[in-house]
Structure 1
């Protein structure tokens, strides 16, 4: 488990480096003295209820979500709803989603919701490790 966590952290660091390297300058809506910042937070499973993984952020550059559980995590690119029939991505145990401009061409700036698939036995201590990268002035 520790080796997997170290591997994920190395992947996250490499992706942040690649994102910084590929960004030539802030887009026109960004302040001229903008810098890149990040927030890293674990989001714990709340029983069978949906959880908010990321809030809306107009300055977002990327989001990295690691499913740190034994079950599958469904993710919806929606700030209000998610269900076992309404989701955008599904991460298996130990998988990581890299949501950035390089992979998708354009970036969704709204909220992300998460819900663990109870049929895959995620466990009560399940969590998603969420990193958001964004511009600050």
Structure 2
């Protein structure tokens, strides 16, 4: 749920800053870029911090080198977050992040089917995770096409 809160709160605060006169954030498109960047900074950093072991456990068993995959996806998320903040790279970064989210979604499904618990709590159920994933991908596509 933290990524959803980061997306919405980051977007709202950025939009408010734009309304208060910060020209770079004057509009929903730049505000959404900030919200997405905040979300991916949060999720990307988790690949290296306290949730790393949980994320490694989520990698489907058939995939090789789970720790390397978690590192790679974390780096891509952090680079994507930076790319969202630069107007010249925001659209390609958002497109890449949308594809990355689609590529990583099977790990969430696998974790739910295997009944994993992360940080002592069950993983997000597939239905809820799917709804969240749709929101995140739509937000990224709004940056791409907005």
TM-score, with structure 1 as normaliser: 0.33
Query: Greater helix percent: which structure?
Result: 2
- TM-score scaled by structure 2? 0.32
